[in-house]
Structure 1
Amino acid sequence: MVPPEAIRGLQKDFDLDNYELADLFGISISSALDWVKHGVRGQRGNNLVLVDSFFALKWLTENDPEKFLSFEELKNIVTKTVRSPGLLYFEFAPYEKELGPALSVLEHQRLVSATMAVMFVLYLRKKGKEVRLKSAEELTPKRALYDMYKTE
């Protein structure tokens, strides 16, 4: 079981609301609310493995950022994955020659895209390519569509 405090810690560390948490792990909002309240219990499927793999990525960023990725880089990837998944794809489009058909995996949302983006960064860096993902702060903040029509 993953305790609820650990799930809430991930939410806080990655600035995820309940909907973004649900989207990242590919679960329903009611499941996300259950995770926040009760933790991840022995459920069917791969939920425990997905959560554990996410904790593994976070652990690597905290314990060896120079040979892996920094936490900020991982946070930027996660932010794009849940808020603007199409942007993540475009970040790697300049490397289409190196990544080939593997690039199409970024068309999927959620944790798979975030994990693959981490792998792509590591692969490209090993090939001597400079990969600099835009920071989460450079992203356009989420807005409701009706905000465009506000009158001053």
Structure 2
Amino acid sequence: MNYRLNSAQPYALGLFRIVTGLLFTCHGVSKLFGVLGGETTDPISWPGGIASLIELVCGVLVMIGLGTRAASFLASGSMAYAYFSVHQSMGLWPIENSGESAAMYCWAFLLLTFTGSGAFGLDRLIGRGDSTAAADKSDRTEADLTPA
């Protein structure tokens, strides 16, 4: 059973990345364009407008799997900032300060920062994904991998 689950891991990670990126993109679209039940925000206002631009751009990049690690890192930091600057002042726990989505996005994007895009990402098609890094690592000797 573990073998089957492990062999499906890149695909599950790819689907997780796509769904998370899509949902994050929807947040940016709703704030920037006033659709999907959102109110428009000036894109150059601080912090709401800049956050909505980050949500839109990083959400699309994560969704398509292009520059996933960098986009996820920026999105994770954005959500950490949102949690601590907006939600934390209303209560200690995310359930009492309405910060669940900011906290979940922060941790989800941090996970993608460390795992990469998984399957179905453009990173893999252009040769910048985890598959090339694994191939490069397999060509190294043990001395090359030992920290100095």
Do they superpose with TM above 0.5?
A: no
TM-score, with structure 1 as normaliser: 0.30
Q: Which has the higher contact order (CA 8 A, sep 6+)?
A: 2
TM-score, with structure 2 as normaliser: 0.30
Larger Rg: 2
